[in-house]
Amino acid sequence: NPPLRINIRHLFHIIYSVPGWKNPKHFTDVHGLPCIEKIVTSVEDIPEPISTNIIGMIPNWINGNFLRNGPGKFEMGNHRFNHWFDGMALLHQFKISNGEVTYRSRFLSSDSYQTNKEQNRIVMSEFGTLTMPDPCKNFFQRFVSRFDLPKPTDNANVSFVTYKGDFYVSTETNIMHKVDPETLEAIQKVDWSKFIAVNGATAHPHTEPDGTVYNMGNSYSSKGAYYNIIKVPPTKVAEEETLEGTTVLCSIPAEDKTKPSYYHSFAMSENYVVFIEQPIKMDLLKIVTGKLTRKSISDGFSWNPKLNTILHLIHKLTGKVSSIKYLANPISTFHQINAYEEDGFLIIDLCASDDGQAIANYNIQNLRKSGESLFPHQVYNTLCRVFPLRFVLPLRIDHCTPYNQNLIDLPNCTATAVRIGKNKVFCTHEDLHGEDLHKYGGLEFPQINYSKYNMHPYRYFYGCGFRHLVGDTLLKMDIRRKEMMVWEHPSLYPSEPIFVPCPYATEEDDGIILSVIITPNKDKSTFLLVLDAKTFKELGRAVVPVNIPYGFHGTFSSTA
C-alpha cells in the first residue's frame, strides 16, 4: 500500500466541517501569527529564590513581593489537559528590594495536584478536561463511577486574593488555599461552603479602604440557581481565623433557574455592588451529568445572543436589590475596570465584546498551533475583539421619571439610558477608546490605581493589547482624552500590568507598572518589566534564567 499522505489544508477543511466548527464566524482577517506554543509548555518549579539579571534600573523605593498565579503544568504522565484554564497552579514570586530582584516559584500542593502526581495521570476533572476512569478498576466499577457527581477542583490557578490580611490563591470553586507570600507554601485549604451556603466564589473580590471584602458566589437549590453577594469582615477575632464572620448580603434568583449566567468578576461603587448577568449560560444539567455523558464542564457553557444583558444594583449597606433592571444589548465581559457614583448616576467601565464564545477557543491545542501551515490565525480570527466600554445608570428612577427619552445629562457623555418600563431602563454604552485601539486588537486584563481610585472618578487604566491569542502589547489608556500610550516589542508577550503607586505620589499616574514578559521564541529569557506609569517608558527589567508560562492574575504586596 502507498504511504498515507495528509494535506494540512485538507485536514483543516475536514475539521471545519465538523458540527460546531462549520462556518465559524470571523471577526478579523489576520494572517501569519507567530508560534507561541511555549507559553503553554510545562516547566519545573523553583522553590528556592534565584537571582535575576538587572538591565536598566529598578527604583529603590519599590520593596515588596510581586505575586503571580497561573497554569504551569499541562499534562500528568501521558494525559494532557485540554484547556488553558486546566493547567496545574504555579505560584510565582518576584521579591524586589533595594533595586535587586529574586525569583522563585512553587506548584500549589492542592489535592488535585498531589493526586494527579501520585497516580501519574489526570485524576481530578478540570474546567475543560474530564478525568478518565481508573484503569485499575474493573469494567463494572468504571461504569458505576460515571454516576458519581463531579467534585469541585481545588486547583486554584487564577489569582492571589487577600482576606483579613491573609493571602489566598483562588479559582472559581468553593475551595481556596491560604499561602505564605514569602515561601509560596500552602498553609491551609479553606472551603467557602463551610461558612456560607455557596458553591463557589470569584477570584476577583473587591476591598473597601477599611479591609472589608465583597465577593460573589452561586448557590443551587430545588428552586434553582441564585447569585449571592458575599461580605467578609476586615479583621480577625482570633489569629487562626479564615472566613469566620462571612455573611451573604443578598441572593438574586437567576433569570433562567437551570441555566444561570457565568460571571468572572463584578464591579463595586461607593454604595453599590454591580452584578452583570450576561448571556453566557451554564447548563446545570449538562454539568452535573458530565461524567455520565463524558462531557467536561466547559461543554455546559453556551452563548445566547438573543438575550439581553442585565445589570443588577445591590445596596451594600442594606443588601437590597434595586427594583430597576438596567438592560443592555448582549455583551460578554470578564473584567470590569472601575465603577463610581456621580451626580445621581452610577458609572461602570468594563472590558466587553459582542460575542461570548471566546472561552471555548482557548483550548491548549489552539494555543499551540504554529506557523502559517497550521493556520494559527484561524483561531484568532474567530475571537471577537474586547474593548473598554462605559455604561451610565441613572439612580433616581421614580414615578415622575419620563419614558422613552435619554435620562443622562452628564457633559460629554455619549452613553444613553432610556426608561422603557416601570422598572426597566435600556442602556447603550460609550466607547472609552479611540480608533487607534483597533489596530492593537482591543484590550484585556485592565488595571487601575486601585488603592486610591477604585470607586472614585479616575482618568487612567492599563491593560494588554491582543493582536494574538494572548497579550502582545502593554497599553495606557487616558479616558478623558481617549488617547493611549503603547509599550511593544516583537515576539514579547506581556502579562497583566499591575500599578504600584510612588510613596510620594501627588497625581493618579505617579508610580510604576509591573508586568512579566514571556519570550516563547527565546529560551530562558523571561523578565519582569518595570515601566514609568506616567511616561510609559521602560525603567528596567529583571531577567529570569528560567522559562515561565503565560499566567493570569497577580498582585503586589509592599513590605516597605
Task: Tell me whether residue 92 is annotated as binding.
Answer: no
Amino acid at 478: D
Name every residue whose Cβ is closer than 8 Å to that of residue 4 and which is 6 or more positions away in sequence.
none
* CA atoms of 158 and 448, how far apart (whole Å): 19
553 is in an annotated binding site: yes
Distance CA 485, CA 128 (A): 36
Q: How far apart are the first and last CA of the chain?
A: 73
CA-CA distances (angstroms) from residue 56 to 496, 528, 541?
21, 12, 6
Q: Name the CA dihedral angle for 468, 473, 478, 482, rounded to a multiple of 10 degrees.
A: -40
User: 505 to each of 190, 238, 493, how far by Cα in Å?
Assistant: 37, 35, 29
- How many whole angstroms from its chain centre is CA 256? 24
Is 335 annotated to bind a ligand? Reply is yes
Nearest Cα neighbor of 474 from 503, 517, 508, 505 is: 517
The grid coordinates listed for 38 are 511555549
Q: Tell me the HSE value of 291 on the side-chain side, using a 13 A CA sphere.
A: 20
Q: Return phi, psi of residue 346, to 5°.
A: -105, 120
CA distances for 354 relative to 435, 446, 555, angstroms: 17, 18, 29
Closest CA to 159 of 229, 241, 215: 215
In terms of C-beta distances under 8 Å and separation of at least 24 residues, what long-range contacts does 78-81 make, across chains too?
78/121, 79/121, 79/122, 79/132, 80/364, 81/122, 81/126, 81/128, 81/129, 81/364
User: In this structure, what are the phi and psi dihedrals at residue 365, rounded to the nearest 5 degrees?
Assistant: -65, -30
166 in Cβ contact with 190 (< 8 Å) = no
C-alpha cell at 110: 492542592
433 labelled ligand-binding: no
* 358, 337 Cβ separation under 8 angstroms: no
Do residues 102 and 62 touch, judged by C-beta distance below 8 A? no
Q: How many CB atoms sit inside 10 A of residue 399's CB?
A: 5
The binding site for Fe cation consists of 204, 264, 335, 553
The binding site consists of 204, 264, 335, 553
